[in-house]
Copies of this chain bind each other. A is one copy, B any other.
């Protein structure tokens, strides 16, 4: 038997499918899920290629995307030609922090739109309220993530 991680393969594909349905690229989803389920939270290109049965080119593309959105970083193994792709340590904190930037961009578009539509129109008011919502969300998200860090640190201490 070649693949000793076989039982985890099922989880990888299930979770990847969820991510894909939520709008993430399919290969990126699979690579991310594979990293999540790997023992060290990191894999080489060859390992990913073998486990997911995809070409090195597909790994390359997926990793480029995951790197851009800040979920995975690349590390060169010292004294080797292999790269390792590794999950961020504060994965969810970092990922959601970055998502903030999207909210900022949306808010800008919405504020511009509200202005164009005019503060006196119902449409303008509705768009302005949407901008408010995203501003609110952004503000709340900071506190939320800090509470998560705290929660996480506390749980980790218990686990000692």
* Copy total for this chain: 2
Q: Let me know if B37 and A109 touch, CB within 8 A.
A: no
Docked complex: A13-29 residues within 8 A CB-CB of B = 14-15, 18, 22-24
A18 in contact with B92 given A7-B116, A11-B116 (CB within 8 Å): no
User: A residues near B, CB below 8 A?
Assistant: 7-8, 10-11, 14-15, 18, 22-24, 36-41, 87, 91-92, 102, 105-106, 109-110, 112-113, 116-117, 121-123, 126-127, 129-130, 132-133, 136-137, 140, 144, 147-148, 151-152, 155
Q: Is there an interface contact between B14 and A105, defined as CB atoms closer than 8 Å?
A: no
* A137 proximity list for chain B (CB < 8 A): 144, 148
